[in-house]
A and B are shown apart, each in its own frame.
Chain A
């Protein structure tokens, strides 16, 4: 599934901008411990997390993740959004919990 379709399907909020709407999302990773995400996420995964600070951007950039979804309507730090924009990383938001968001995405076929 492409980022653009994912945003439409799950009514995700776009917190900065969508840098590559046609980018394919393959698989996902859910987690809040940065070392866990660094070690276990894969390129092009969608990352579901409740972390909102600047340091999530380096993780997404290093692992070439397709986008970050911040859950439970949490507000993302301004400096994190600025850094994400600088690094062409799309940050999305949802009011769902990490469990529900992950479940829905998994169910839609991104496994």
Chain B
């Protein structure tokens, strides 16, 4: 496959438990997409996916890097974290299943919709995880 032309690339850091800045990377990505003039429907879907992925890192992982790329055809996001990994991906993908603590639930997290929301709003979705090491999430949203 030919290498795709990269129009834009930026790497963001996300720290686990950093609830004070939760969502800030997603807000930045949304602003960049809007400024570039990406169509609203795509911006909307990328925003939902990024927010959920960012919250997963904040709730469960120690630290992560989010790699954000725009090519002429798609938005590509790769989030690689250092964390506990996911014990059962099939369960984690099920709507309503969550391992969030009571405290997180009281804050309105832990609906069990995070990964399903990402899958439903992306065009390509892949997840790799290794227990006690971390999780790598990859998703693409087509521009057209």
Show the binding face of A for B, using Cβ within 8 Å.
32-36, 38-39, 43, 49, 51, 53-59, 61-63, 79, 87
A58 to B112, CA, bound (A): 19
With known contacts A62-B26, A79-B20, A35–B107 Cβ distance under 8 A = no
Asked whether B107 lies within 8 Å of A62 as measured between CB atoms, the reply is no
B113 touches A55 (CB 8 A): no
Per DSSP, chain A at the interface is: helix
Inter-chain contacts of B107 with A (CB < 8 A): 34, 51, 53, 55
Min CB gap A86→B, angstroms: 11
Tell me, yes or no, whether B117 is within 8 Å of chain A by CB: yes
Known: A33-B108, A38-B52, A58-B22. 10 other contacts (CB 8 A): A33-B113, A35-B117, A36-B111, A38-B51, A43-B44, A54-B22, A55-B23, A58-B51, A59-B51, A62-B26
